[in-house]
C-alpha cells in the first residue's frame, strides 16, 4: 500500500522536477505562468496534469494542438515514482528515508537539466545541500553534521584534483565545474569513499554509451553529470556500504 503511495508521490514530484529543471535552465519563474503546452501555450487543466495517466489518455499529445509531447515527460514521472518507492523499500519510515528522497529528487533535476541543457544548476545543488545540512543538524546535532560536511569538502577536493590532472593530461577542459560541485553533494550524503566509487561506476555506465556516440559520429559532447548522478542514486538505493566493497576486493 505504501509502495503505491510513494510511487504516486514520486510521479507527481517527477512531473514537477521536469518543470523546475526546464524553467530554471531557461531563467523562468517556477511559479508563474501555470503549466502550459510549449507549442500552442494552451493552459493545462487539472485533468491534464495527472502524471502518467494524462499522458497515456491523451496518447502523448497536447489536447489542443495535437502536437506530440516528449516521451521524456512520461519516463521521468515513472522513474521518479519507482525511485521513491525503492527509497521507501530500502529505508522504511526513517530519517534516512527523508535524506534519500531529497538526494534522489535533487539528482533527478540535475540529470534533466544536464541532458536537455548541458548545465548543472548551482541553485539546485545549493538548495539540496542546504536542506540536507539542516536535516542533519536536526537529526544528529552539530557534531554529527561536521563529519558529513567534511566528507563533502573532501569529495569536492578530490574531484577538483582529478579535473586538474585530466586538464593536464588531455590539454583541455576534462570535467565541468558542475561535476565538481556535484561531488560536494554526494560527499554530504553518501560519504567520501562512496563518492569516489561513483566516479568509477559512472565511467562504467558511460563507456558503452560514449562508444556508441563516437561510432555513430554524432556530436561528441556528452555531459558526465547524468552518469555521476545515476551512479550515486544506484549506490544510495542499493544500500551498499564501503566496507562491503573493501571486503570483496580484499577477499579476492
Helix/strand/coil for 144: helix
Q: Which is nearer to Zn ion, 53 or 65 (CB)?
A: 65
Number of residues near Zn ion (by CB under 5 A): 7
Examine residue 65 and tell whether it contacts Zn ion (CB under 5 A).
yes
Q: Which is nearer to Zn ion, 39 or 130 (CB)?
A: 39
Examine residue 49 and tell whether it contacts Zn ion (CB under 5 A).
no
Nearest distance from C-beta of residue 41 to Zn ion, angstroms = 7
Determine if residue 152 is left, alpha or beta; phi over 0 gives left, psi from -120 to 50 gives alpha, anything else beta: alpha
Please give the grid coordinates belonging to residue 25: 535552465
* Segment lying near Zn ion (by CB under 5 A), choices 33-41, 49-57, 104-112, 165-173: 33-41
Examine residue 44 and tell whether it contacts Zn ion (CB under 5 A).
no
Please give the grid coordinates belonging to residue 75: 519516463
Q: What letter would DSSP give residue 61?
A: B
Helix/strand/coil for 136: helix
Examine residue 62 and tell whether it contacts Zn ion (CB under 5 A).
yes
CA distance 225 to 121: 11
Nearest distance from C-beta of residue 48 to Zn ion, angstroms = 10
Nearest distance from C-beta of residue 38 to Zn ion, angstroms = 8
Q: Residues of 192-205 as b/e, b for ≥16 C-beta within 10 angstroms?
A: bbbbbbbbebbeeb
Examine residue 222 and tell whether it contacts Zn ion (CB under 5 A).
no
Q: Which of 8, 19, 37, 131 binds Zn ion (CB under 5 A)?
A: 37
Examine residue 59 and tell whether it contacts Zn ion (CB under 5 A).
no
Q: What letter would DSSP give residue 1?
A: -
Which residue from 125, 115, 116, 117 is spatially nearest to 155, judged by alpha carbons?
Answer: 125
The distance in angstroms from the start CA to the end CA of the chain is 42
Q: Which of 42, 89, 163, 241 binds Zn ion (CB under 5 A)?
A: 42
Nearest distance from C-beta of residue 49 to Zn ion, angstroms = 14
Nearest distance from C-beta of residue 68 to Zn ion, angstroms = 10
Chain residues in the site for Zn ion (CB under 5 A): 37, 39-40, 42, 62, 64-65
Amino acid at each position: 500500500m505504501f509502495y503505491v503511495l510513494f510511487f504516486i508521490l514520486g510521479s507527481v514530484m517527477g512531473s514537477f522536477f521536469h518543470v523546475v529543471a526546464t524553467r530554471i535552465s531557461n531563467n523562468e519563474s517556477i511559479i508563474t505562468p501555470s503549466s502550459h503546452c510549449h507549442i500552442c501555450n494552451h493552459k493545462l487543466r487539472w485533468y491534464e496534469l495527472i502524471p502518467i495517466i494524462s499522458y497515456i489518455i491523451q496518447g502523448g499529445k497536447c489536447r489542443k494542438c495535437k502536437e506530440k509531447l516528449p516521451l521524456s515527460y512520461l519516463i521521468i514521472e515513472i522513474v521518479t515514482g519507482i525511485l521513491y518507492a525503492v527509497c521507501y523499500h530500502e529505508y522504511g519510515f526513517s530519517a534516512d528515508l527523508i535524506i534519500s528522497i531529497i538526494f534522489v529528487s535533487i539528482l533527478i533535476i540535475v540529470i534533466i537539466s544536464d541532458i536537455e541543457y548541458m548545465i548543472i544548476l548551482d541553485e539546485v545543488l545549493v538548495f539540496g545541500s542546504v536542506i540536507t545540512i539542516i536535516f542533519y543538524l536536526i537529526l544528529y546535532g552539530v557534531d554529527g553534521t561536521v563529519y558529513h560536511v567534511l566528507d563533502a569538502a573532501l569529495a569536492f577536493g578530490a574531484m577538483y584534483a582529478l579535473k586538474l590532472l585530466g586538464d593536464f593530461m588531455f590539454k583541455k577542459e576534462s570535467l565541468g565545474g558542475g561535476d565538481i560541485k556535484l561531488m560536494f553533494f554526494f560527499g554530504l550524503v553518501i560519504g567520501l569513499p562512496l563518492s569516489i566509487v561513483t566516479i568509477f561506476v559512472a565511467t562504467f555506465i558511460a563507456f558503452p554509451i560514449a562508444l556508441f556516440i563516437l561510432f555513430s559520429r554524432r556530436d561528441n559532447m556528452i555531459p558526465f553529470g547524468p552518469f555521476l548522478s545515476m551512479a550515486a542514486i544506484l549506490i544510495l538505493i542499493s544500500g551498499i556500504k564501503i566496507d562491503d566493497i573493501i571486503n570483496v576486493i580484499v577477499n579476492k
